[in-house]
Structure 1
Amino acid sequence: MTEYTSLRVTQQDRIAHIQINRPAKFNAMDSAFWTEMITAFEWVDVTESIRVVVISGAGDHFSAGIDLALLAQASSRMGKDIGRNAEVIRGNILRLQEAFNAVDRCRKPVIAAIHGYCLGGAIDLISACDMRYCTPDARFGIKEIDMGMAADVGTLQRLPHLIGDGMMRELAYTGRVFDGHEAARIGLVNCVHDDVQALMQEVMSLAGQIASKSPLAIRGTKEMIRYARDHSVEDGLNYIASWNAAMLQSEDLKVAMAAHMAKKPAEFAD
Structure 2
Amino acid sequence: MALEVNPAGRVSITLGEDGVAQVRLIRADKMNALDPDMFAALIDAGRVLHDLKGLRAVVLSGEGRSFCAGLDLTSMANTGRHDRTPLTERTHGNANQPQQIAMQWRKLPVPVIAAVHGVCFGGGLQVASGADIRVIDPAARMAVMELKWGLVPDMGGYALWKGLVRDDVLRELTYTNREFSGAEAKELGFATYVDSDPLARATAIAADIANRNPHAQRAAKRLFNRYLEVGVDEILMAESVEQQALIGSRNQIEAVTSQMQKRKAEYVDP
User: Could you say whether these structures have the same fold, taking a TM-score greater than 0.5 normalized by the shorter chain as the test?
Assistant: yes
Q: 1:36 aligns with which of 41, 47, 66?
A: 41
Looking at CA atoms only, which structure, 1 or 2, has the larger radius of gyration? Answer: 1
Whether the aligned pair in 2 keeps the contact of 1:156 and 1:168 (CA below 8 Å) is no
1:48 deviates by 2.4
1:73 deviates by 4.6
* Residue of structure 2 in register with 1:253 after alignment: 252
1:114 aligns with 2:116: yes
Q: Which amino acid aligns with 2:120?
A: C
Closer, same or farther: CA 112–76 of 1 in aligned 2, 3 Å: closer
* Residue of structure 2 in register with 1:189 after alignment: 191
1:217 deviates by 0.5
- Match of 1:163, SS? coil
Aligned residue runs from structure 1 range 31-180, under 5 A: 31-73=36-78, 88-91=86-89, 94-180=96-182
Once residues 239 and 99 of structure 1 are traced to their aligned partners in structure 2, the CA distance between those partners, rounded to angstroms, is 27
Once residues 229 and 5 of structure 2 are traced to their aligned partners in structure 1, the CA distance between those partners, rounded to angstroms, is 36
- Match of 1:133, SS? strand
Whether the aligned pair in 2 keeps the contact of 1:107 and 1:222 (CA below 8 Å) is yes
- Match of 1:257, SS? helix
Q: Which amino acid aligns with 2:163?
A: H
- Match of 1:55, SS? strand
Number of residue-to-residue matches in the alignment = 260
1:199 deviates by 2.2
1:34 deviates by 1.6
Q: 2:15 aligns with which of 8, 11, 17?
A: 11
Once residues 174 and 18 of structure 1 are traced to their aligned partners in structure 2, the CA distance between those partners, rounded to angstroms, is 32
- Percent identical: 28
- Match of 1:71, SS? helix
Once residues 76 and 44 of structure 2 are traced to their aligned partners in structure 1, the CA distance between those partners, rounded to angstroms, is 22
Bigger proportion of residues as helix: 1
Whether the aligned pair in 2 keeps the contact of 1:6 and 1:30 (CA below 8 Å) is no
Once residues 47 and 75 of structure 1 are traced to their aligned partners in structure 2, the CA distance between those partners, rounded to angstroms, is 33
* Residue of structure 1 in register with 2:263 after alignment: 264
- Name the stretch that deviates more: 155-164 or 60-69: 155-164
Name structure 1 gaps, 5 residues minimum: 78-84
- How large is the Cα RMSD of the aligned pairs? 2.1
- Match of 2:164, SS? helix
Give the TM-score normalised by the residue count of structure 2: 0.89
* Residue of structure 1 in register with 2:241 after alignment: 242
Once residues 124 and 199 of structure 1 are traced to their aligned partners in structure 2, the CA distance between those partners, rounded to angstroms, is 18
1:159 deviates by 0.9
Give the TM-score normalised by the residue count of structure 1: 0.89
Closer, same or farther: CA 138–205 of 1 in aligned 2, 3 Å: same
Whether the aligned pair in 2 keeps the contact of 1:123 and 1:141 (CA below 8 Å) is yes
